[in-house]
Structure 1
């Protein structure tokens, strides 16, 4: 058990506590210990502060014992595999898709830093690695890594070394000397108003299942995983609304999982137009016939499997279907997520406010809506110029 020793100032008041843990003995017989000093929390009585310190000491000792013993030299690979993943990533708070993302990104970092002692990794070493990513690394199609991908590597290193610093596994955090990358906003792909009309018209000759899903993606701005996770209990024909409460994801490790949407704001209730309601009702009747069901329970998935409506389709299936659909009709090369972009862009062009569009799409921050969806178009610029001319009585 960790020992806790108070540290006093000149006035005799406790200003901090020192935690100390014995990790066994070296071959010479000398004790192996590690210590940590923590300031007293503000606003707590002496007894409550002591209990809080005991809790923090227990948590710290538990983290140290999670399959890892600090030594003077700890390789980066050992830190990632034996400490960071067991304690920080697999703590029950991360979604399977997030864990999968950390695994894929960490693989490249481990390849580069390998057995290098985490305390010997300097800011200059990390900056050289970042420069290498920007100049030498290639992705699919032999294209250089995007600025966004490079930023993801930097952010992951920031998270890892921040964790190591918090738990006194490094003497200093080299990421504090690495400047945050500039945020680059590239225009999103979306269909113009005329292209959207052509897209929807082309759906008329397609199976009702896909006609309904693609129309829903464009009219409600749903993410692909949100649409796949929809159940009939989420559709209110009485109130003409659709509730987004879950999303489907897939990883190699966890398979298909149904969990919460991307963020807190992603849980939302959206209005449905009369046309969309009629299409959903038409599909509901067709789905019952398709799976030979007299009726469907509320928990049946709107776009469930043909043979089993109570099981979700694979989350990438809409992407594959849409790719073939686009080729058949010679349409612009867009993805299901680009239909979400189309929804947001056309909402703003129709006069919706930034706040309305943010809530409609379920963005956590209005900055995302402004950065990616509030871009001007030639049509909107001309309309703005004509409006200005009208205000000036047509003198310009």
Structure 2
């Protein structure tokens, strides 16, 4: 406990002083003390001592000797903790967002000098330039929260930021829909079977008739297919790791781990592809029947995920087929399931949606298309 002492100054006058123990500095690990002197009266010394004790109690050690970090320095410390709590693919995405969208604007600034006005300016920029703007904004907020925990700042400057919202425009309804109708899918698969490598026909058939994600497709092994019972087990996916390279990890969500039934035509296509592959691997001295090989892969044995992204747009353009992205076959499967009479719960389980809202969004779209035909159906039925 600090004691106030009376002492004699060089000029012979009397004054008061105190020496206060502040605690252990978490940055240096050393004990910190401070001495204040030159108070004319005991009352002045007591007031100064009380104020200093209250400040240390509320805010921690005075920051005069503490190194205040830049945003990038705080980010690096935060990311070391963060990457241990999320999947490698998520850590890779978050790291990329921060490096591209945040560090060029925040990185060199001291965290205690960044205010809400500056943060609002950057939030507005991110909103205009990034489709998934909420993700970037939330990451910035979490990094400042970490800076606060480390006693680098007293308040998070992101707390009072206003996040803009996208406004729907009349053009939103005219945006191209990323799915095929039943007839469009039939034409696509027939064209694919006739003009593309057989592996590509099987791969897109599996995606369109199971609704699995392309990462899940790329991770499939022969042991995941039960030819006897006509099912496929989806229990892994291909995704980026922290080094920006593809690797195998658990699926997107808990619900994504699932076993689904497949139709006979798709099953037979897989059998045919397996027999073709067996012949090729036999020449190389490999045995496909062990079941540990990937069903789909490039000629060099790499994951097929990038090849699919490259193959699809060029094939569609060459044969003048409607535009669609690989993920659109998942949407296509869901849409056709609803049209065939499947329930919302059945579609959610088959596609592995964690949140039923995702399933409902597709259902709303499908029923909207059906509603547009209602008047036409009614007029044809009445016929007068």
Structure 1 residues 370 and 183, CA, compared in 2 at 3 Å: closer, same or farther? farther
Match of 2:88 among 83, 89, 96: 96
What is the CA distance between 1:286 and its match in structure 2?
0.8
Distance 2:366 2:258 in 1: 27
Structure 1 residues 201 and 254, CA, compared in 2 at 3 Å: closer, same or farther? same
- 1:152 and 2:142 equivalent? no
- 1:163 and 2:146 equivalent? yes
| Equivalence for 1:202 | 191
What is the CA distance between 1:217 and its match in structure 2?
0.8
TM-score w.r.t. the length of structure 1 is 0.72
Residue by residue, what CA displacement relative to the aligned partner does 1:210-263 show, whole Å, maximum 9, x if unpaired?
110010011111111110100011101111111101111235825221111111
| Equivalence for 2:155 | 172
What is the CA distance between 1:101 and its match in structure 2?
1.2
- 1:75 and 2:70 equivalent? yes
Q: Is the 8 A contact 2:193 2:201 kept in 1?
A: yes
Match of 2:290 among 297, 301, 304: 297
Structure 1 residues 240 and 129, CA, compared in 2 at 3 Å: closer, same or farther? same
| Equivalence for 1:120 | 113
Distance 2:108 2:208 in 1: 49
Structure 1 residues 301 and 109, CA, compared in 2 at 3 Å: closer, same or farther? same
What is the CA distance between 1:368 and its match in structure 2?
1.5
Gapped runs of 5+ residues in structure 1?
1-18, 38-69, 136-144
| Equivalence for 1:272 | 262
What is the CA distance between 1:181 and its match in structure 2?
5.0
- 1:86 and 2:80 equivalent? yes
Structure 1 residues 218 and 30, CA, compared in 2 at 3 Å: closer, same or farther? farther
Distance 1:125 1:349 in 2: 50
TM-score w.r.t. the length of structure 2 is 0.74
**Number of equivalent positions:** 326
Distance 2:225 2:137 in 1: 41
What is the CA distance between 1:327 and its match in structure 2?
2.1
| Equivalence for 1:142 | none
| Equivalence for 2:28 | 24
The two structures, once aligned, show a CA RMSD in angstroms of 3.4
Distance 2:127 2:350 in 1: 36
Residue by residue, what CA displacement relative to the aligned partner does 1:129-171 show, whole Å, maximum 9, x if unpaired?
1223345xxxxxxxxx25x332222122233233334554431
Gapped runs of 5+ residues in structure 2?
1-22, 36-54, 59-64
Q: Tell me which moved more, 253-262 or 230-239.
A: 253-262
Distance 2:29 2:299 in 1: 63
Residue by residue, what CA displacement relative to the aligned partner does 1:257-312 show, whole Å, maximum 9, x if unpaired?
111111111111111001111111111111101222564211111113546xxx54
What is the CA distance between 1:322 and its match in structure 2?
1.6
Structure 1 residues 281 and 191, CA, compared in 2 at 3 Å: closer, same or farther? same
